[in-house]
Structure 1
Amino acid sequence: MPTNLLPKRPTPPRSAKARSVSAPARRVLIKAGRITIRAELLDTATADRVWAALPLYSTAERWGQSIHFETPVETGRDRTARVLATPGEIYFWVEDDRILIVFGPTPISRPGEVRLPRPCNLWAKALDDVTPLKDVAPGEKVSVTVA
């Protein structure tokens, strides 16, 4: 008897958890001077570009209660771009190809907010407290590597 004529057995539905194959979390170590911060990348095009460019090496610069540093990564503004920041979130300053990490108000912040220089792409979230970055002096070495 041909097998294509046999009644088909219903297959049990697979759970949504079984359907989605989750990739392992992408984590980086950001070292600035003597300070090390762990961060987890988000699911964005900017995060993909930063991840592909690792390791990154640069020099820290300060701007109020934030550090930023130049990268060879180039990307356009995306849907995550924002002007108001939250300490612990890590941004990409599109116009200057810089990574920006805020730990408090910047020179253009208004009371009760942390304001970025322009809309910046959110690409990662720190897993550690970012306030120790206040001890990073301009000119100190910065690296971003795979954790």
Structure 2
Amino acid sequence: MANEIRIRITWPANQLTATLEDTPTTKALVAALPIAASASTWGEEVYFETGVSVPRESDARQVVEPGTVAFWTDGDSLALPYGPTPISRGDECRLASPCNVLGTVDGDPRLLATVRPGDPIRVELA
């Protein structure tokens, strides 16, 4: 895909990159970069506020694959699931509500398990 966008997500214990698709939400997010926030966790999901407010897109999904980069419109937050959340059925990644899907983490999304609540987290173009 010609218009893919790569971001780097950094926290004290680690970092990873992700490849995003060219969507309206991705454009709004990239325009706000770099973003610095405080991480929250919910089951095996990391999320944090972005200061970006966008509407839910028509293809928003609640159940996604581990490593999906999702935008939670209800909380103006990036949601990065790497395993089950408190509302998952079985091993699925079930988000709090339907989220705009932006792309996927490059490599192993389980690196996100090293994020601790309250960790400073930074997102910038890779």
TM-score per shorter chain, which class?
over 0.9
Is 1:96 matched with 2:87? Answer: no
Higher relative contact order (CA 8 A, sep 6+): 2
Larger Rg: 1
Name the SS for the 1:125 alignment partner: strand
Q: What is the 5 A alignment of 1:95-114?
A: 95-114=74-93
Q: Which residue of 2 aligns with 1:78?
A: 57
- Unmatched 5+ stretches in structure 1: 1-21
Higher percent of residues as helix = 1
Match of 2:116, as an amino acid? A
Give the TM-score normalised by the residue count of structure 2: 0.94
- After TM superposition, give the deviation of residue 69 of structure 1 in Å: 0.3
Which one of the candidate residues 108, 111, 122 is aligned to 1:132? 111
SS at 1:46 equivalent: helix
CA distance in 2, matches of 1:66, 1:33: 17
- How many residue pairs end up in the alignment? 126
Cα deviation digits, residues 75-115 of structure 1 (max 9, x gap): 00002310101111110000110000001000000113221
CA contact (8 A) 1:32 1:133 kept: no
**Cross-structure match for 1:33:** 12
Matches within 5 A, 1:10-25: 23=2, 25=4
Kept after mapping to 1: 8 A contact 2:5/2:22: no
Could you list the runs of 5+ residues in structure 2 that have no partner in the other structure? none
SS of 1:69's equivalent? strand
Counterpart in the other structure of 1:14: none
